[in-house]
Amino acid sequence: MALIEGIFEPGLVVTTVDWVLNWSRKRSIFPMTFGIACCAIEMIATGASRFDIDRFGSGAFRATPRQADLMIVAGTVTFKMAERLRRLWEQMAEPRYVIAMGACAISGGPYHVHGYHVVKGVDQVVPVDVYVPGCPPRPEALLEGLMRLQDKISTHTIAKP
């Protein structure tokens, strides 16, 4: 940016449509109010004042998938839950993103071998954008995951692939 600074008259802003779209999207990722197990407690802590996810524009936890951009799968996904989870994801408007939070959502975690009821990774059910490992991950880790998602969004383009 330094090369073109100070060249234009005041009031003129130069940007690209891609940049503006991505900028607005990545700074208002509204997560869905959706927690399945103990990871949800860390997600709640991330939303509260000490860690304050609102600094990243993601503090508005929506109570309906229709208004949400991000599904944080925070916990153990059982086979019974998988269908409900898929339906919630299908109800979200595009562009929609998924963070798999914690070992259970990533791979079944502690239930990988003996969990007769646990889906071995939520990526079997919905496409996952960012994996946040931990059992459970600390709020800082979830914020890191959110920042990686922001990085991913900033590479989007509306141009033909």
Partner 1 sequence: MTPSDIIELLKQNHASSVVSAAAEGPYPHAVIKAEELKTIAAFLKTQPRLRFDLLRCISAIDWPAKNNIELAYDLISTSLGHAFAVKVVLDRADPQVESLSAVWPAAEWHEREAFDLMGVVFLHHPDLRRILMPEDWPGHPLRKDYQDIVEYRGLKFNP
Give me the residues that bind partner 1 (CB under 8 A), please: 79-80, 82-83, 116-117, 119-121, 124-125
How far is the C-alpha of 7 from the C-alpha of 95, rounded, in Å?
Answer: 36
Are 27 and 57 spatial neighbours (Cβ–Cβ below 8 Å)? yes
Separation between Cα atoms, residue 79 and residue 9, nearest integer Å: 60
Return left, alpha or beta for 42; rule: phi > 0 is left, psi -120 to 50 is alpha, else beta.
Answer: alpha
Least distance between partner 1 and beta carbon 54 (Å): 35
In the bound state with partner 1, the residue whose beta carbon lies nearer, of 52 and 83, is: 83
Angle of CA points 3, 7, 13, to nearest 5°: 95
Q: Which is nearer to partner 1, 19 or 79 (CB)?
A: 79
Q: In the block, which residue shows the tokens 């993601």?
A: 58
- Give me the least distance between CB of 109 and partner 1, in Å please: 14
* Min CB(74)–partner 1 separation in Å: 20
Q: Which is nearer to partner 1, 118 or 146 (CB)?
A: 118
For partner 1, give the closer residue by CB, 43 or 125: 125
Q: Least distance in Å: CB of 47 to partner 1?
A: 29
